[in-house]
Amino acid sequence: MAAPTDTRLNTQEEITARVKALEAMLIEKGVMTTEAVDRLAEIYENEVGPQLGAKVVARAWTDPEFKARLLADATAACAEMGISGLQGEEMIALENTDTVHNLVVCTLCSCYPWPILGLPPNWYKAPPYRSRIVREPRKVLAEDFGFVVPDSVEIRVWDSSSELRYWVLPKRPQGSEGMGAFDLAALVTRDSMIGVAPAASPSS
């Protein structure tokens, strides 16, 4: 009897193949250059998506009522700010506290909340991260990301899927009291919303 196949993985592989074929066709016909494709990917990976997520986090840090709505229904709360779309239909925001640190992985492929975080980084999709972060999260955070989580803090690893995507509401950094939403958003990084880094310190 043949082993069951995972349709989600097959679909992901098909999408990846189609994207690569389309990219090659656009470059071959001179519609886009390799540099333009790389720059577009960089924008979505590091600028557009994470900037939107940073605005959501900054509002949650300064607006307790919005924060409560975000933790109750992240999809609806983000939609209030005009942030929604493909790969973000069902989202849950996980709050980091003084005693609990959350981080996110997709152990099967690369499920990820694109509207909030942009494109997933390559390391998020790589098998070493996907397998090791579940088994030894504290060690991976320290060795691969330079982020040491105290032993007194519990680490919880959440496995995203095509049906439900998680992202992290990082702790508000010390020294940020009195800062406005615009400046607070500058402290929020993509990695802090995945949970592999803290939000930046105002002093940095």
CB neighbourhood size of 145 (10 A): 16
Catalytic annotation, pick one of 78, 84, 109, 201: 109
**Cα separation of 201 and 5, whole Å?**
46
CA distances from 184 to 13, 60, 111, 173 (A): 38, 10, 27, 9
Task: Based on the residue annotation, tell me whether 78 is a catalytic residue of this protein.
Answer: no
Catalytic annotation, pick one of 78, 84, 110, 204: 110
- How far out from the chain centre does Cα 164 lie? 13
Catalytic annotation, pick one of 78, 106, 160, 192: 106
Catalytic annotation, pick one of 78, 84, 111, 162: 111
Token code pair at residue 177: 């009291």
- Active-site amino acid positions: 106, 109-111
